[in-house]
Amino acid sequence: MCGIAGTFRLTGSVLAEDVSAVLRMLDAQIRRGPDDWGLLVPDSALADAEIRRLLERYDPAHVHAYPAVPGAPAAVLGSRRLSIIDLSTHGRMPMGSDDGRRWVVQNGEIYNYRELRAELVGAGAFRSATDTEVLVRGWEAWEDGVTERLRGMFAFALFEAAPRPRLLLGRDRFGIKPLYCYEDRTRVVFASEVRAIVASGLVPDEASPEALGRFLELGSVPAPLTTVKDVRALPAGHVAHVDASGLRLSRYWSLDAAVDAARSSAPHTRANAVDSTRALLENAVKLHLVSDAPLGVFLSGGIDSAGLVALAASGRERPLTTLTVSFDDARLSEARYARLISERYRTDHHEVRVAGGRRGLLGLSSPSLSRDARRRAQAHVGAAAPRSPRALTARGGRRPVRPARPRSGAIPRGALGCGSLPARPRPLHPGAGARAPGNRGWGPGGRRAG
């Protein structure tokens, strides 16, 4: 993962407080991107003595400038990078176009970047081997329609400096990668984490009564709400257009429409359904495994992560790295089941024991009472154990693949190639919140943010 942050001033020039705010947001997200960082400011800001003093302590190779339009809105962008594809400095963000007019910061991964890159052969010479550069080149070629071409998990900010300064914020179809925004009369502030936005010093650190009420009602905070007042999550499958008039939401993908389209071409036999489902899973896992850095898999011992390991371990020259988080409380620990899977697929297995500990509700962006959420948060504590900066997880995968009538005993032999494993019941997530809002604004509801 990476961490992105920025401010877009609706009126007036960029001030030292804008630059300082983005630097603080980057510092707050250093764990998201420990490998590299970058900052983008308008060239006019470099003439400001206060901003020059602020930046003189930093390596100028990490600071980029764009040609500002006098009297027009302006932005400051920043990125903390976890290097996954193209580990060189060519992958440093913010990343700009040849003329310095368009820029991008991204958190996540675009799985079809190689195919898109092939389509953009005539759009100019690529300077890196990253998936991020496809975003800025694609924006030049396809304008805002580039978002609909992306396949992956991502949150990005695309900035056009001239002729009319504007910002395009986007989030993947299912909202896998986070992106949060705050808007007042003078600026829009965004970052990958709510606490980073608060760290900017531009946003009041005030609890959201509505979010707390929904948490007590549902056991989770439904998107786009967060625990901080007036800080909102960009809804999944949406982009936000930001210019001098403010922020406007637009949906570019709908699950309902996708389901209707899939039904029209759905397989009509069980055999076809099994074959097509497995082909989709194999292709999805293959795309997720593209990486120039070491990669691992979170292994809980359940059917979802076991299936992921079975698919990911197939045909590899080296053993797959797997990571299990175990607990002192045997009722919560799944280490025994994970070892069975590891032995079956001969993975390079690591166990990290996590002691008890609690974070306050307001320390989380979108808290949930679900056991999966607690386990996932604790898993991040030990993510460095197998020396893999990136790990796959199969959260939610058991729903489409588990037997229709789960019984005590064993999972049927041969299911996902896992052999016979003990089956254990797992609790369901709490109920979902209200329907996701459309294009009329953020709204109070949204899908459950578990």
Which position has the token pair 């257009």?
241
Residue-by-residue DSSP string for 119-172:
HTGGG---S-S-SHHHHHHHHHHHGGGHHHH--EEEEEEEEE-SSS-EEEEEE-
Determine, yes or no, domain membership for 90.
Answer: yes
Q: Report the b/e string of 254-277 with b at 16+ CB within 10 A.
A: eeeeeeeeeeeeeeeeeeeeeeee
Mean pLDDT of 162-189: 96
Task: CATH number of the domain at 298, please.
Answer: 3.40.50
Q: Is the pLDDT of residue 86 over 90?
A: no
Nearest to 150 by CA among 188, 100, 180, 109: 109
Q: Is residue 417 part of a domain?
A: yes
Kindly state whether residues 162 and 20 are assigned to the same domain: yes
Please give the structure tokens belonging to residue 167.
């910002």
Please give the pLDDT value at position 346.
87
Do 102 and 155 lie in one domain? The reply is yes
Mean pLDDT over 143-172 rounds to: 96
State mean pLDDT over 185-201: 97
- 88 SS3 class: coil
For 82-113, b/e burial (b = at least 16 CB within 10 A) is bbbbbbeeebbbbbbbeeeebbbbbbbbbbeb
**pLDDT at residue 410 tops 50:** no
* Per-residue pLDDT, 400: 55
Residues 6+ positions from 98 with CB-CB distance below 8 Å: 124
* 3 φ, ψ (degrees, to nearest 5): -125, 130
Per DSSP, the three-state class of 292 is coil
Identify the pLDDT of residue 391.
Answer: 60
- Sequence-separated (6 or more) residues with CB below 8 Å from residue 130: 85, 86, 90, 91, 95, 113
- Per-residue H/E/C for 244-283: CCEEEEEECCCHHHHHHHHHHCCCCCHHHHHHHHHHHHHH
Question: What domain range is 335 assigned to?
Answer: 269-423
- Residues 285, 137 share a domain: no
Query: Do 140 and 115 share a structural domain?
Result: yes
**Is 433 a member of any domain?**
no
What is the reported pLDDT for 443?
43
Does a structural domain hold residue 163?
Answer: yes
Candidates 62, 244, 78, 69; CA nearest to 167 is 244
Strand pairing of 348-354 and 321-327? Answer: parallel
The crossing angle, in degrees rounded to 10, of helices 303-313 and 335-345 is 20
Each residue of 322-371: pLDDT tens digit? 888 887 777 778 888 888 988 888 888 888 887 654 444 555 566 665 54
Query: Same structural domain for residues 250 and 115?
Result: yes
My answer on whether 18 and 149 are in the same domain is yes
Give the mean pLDDT of 207-224: 93
In a domain, 180, yes or no: yes
What mean pLDDT, rounded, does the chain reach? 81
Share of residues in the chain with pLDDT > 90 (%): 51
The pLDDT of residue 270 is: 83
Do residues 103 and 249 share a domain?
A: yes
Q: Indicate whether 373 pLDDT > 70.
A: no
Could you tell me if 207 and 20 are in contact, meaning their C-beta atoms sit under 8 angstroms apart?
Answer: no
**Token digits of residue 328:** 């002192």
> Into how many domains does the chain fold?
2
The two tokens of residue 419 are 């052999």
CB atoms within 10 A of CB 173: 20
| Reduced 3-state DSSP string for 178-207 | CCEEEECCCEEEEECCHHHHHHCCCCCCCE
Q: Beta strand pairing status for 390-392 and 295-298?
A: parallel
Q: In terms of domains, do 158 and 13 share one? A: yes
75 alpha carbon, distance to own chain's centre: 22
* pLDDT over threshold 80, residue 390: no
- Would you report the helix, strand and coil content of the chain in percent, each value rounded to 5? 35, 25, 45
Q: Examine residue 341 and state whether it is found in any structural domain, yes or no.
A: yes
To which residue do tokens 């002691």 refer? 355
Q: What is d(CA 276, CA 278) in angstroms, rounded to the nearest whole number?
A: 5
In a domain, 119, yes or no: yes
Statement: the pTM of the whole predicted model exceeds 0.85: no
> Higher-confidence residue: 22 or 383?
22
User: Average pLDDT in the 101-107 region?
Assistant: 97
Shared domain for 248 and 318, answered yes or no, is no
Do 184 and 48 have their domain in common? Answer: yes
Q: 188 and 313, same structural domain?
A: no
Tokens read off for 401: 């693949």
3-state secondary structure of 45: helix
In a domain, 439, yes or no: no
Least confident of 172-176, 243-247, 290-294, 427-431: 427-431
**298 and 194: one domain?**
no
Report the CATH number that the domain containing residue 36 is assigned in CATH: 3.60.20.10
Q: Between 262 and 246, where is the model more confident?
A: 246
Cis status of the peptide bond prior to 224, with omega within 30 of 0? yes
Q: Which of 305, 337, 311 is nearest to 420 (CA)?
A: 337
State residue 303's pLDDT score: 85
Contact 345, 310 (CB under 8 A): yes
Residue 151 is predicted with a pLDDT of 93
95 membership: H or E segment, kind and range = strand 95-96
Q: Count, in order, helices (H) and strands (E) of the chain.
A: 13, 19
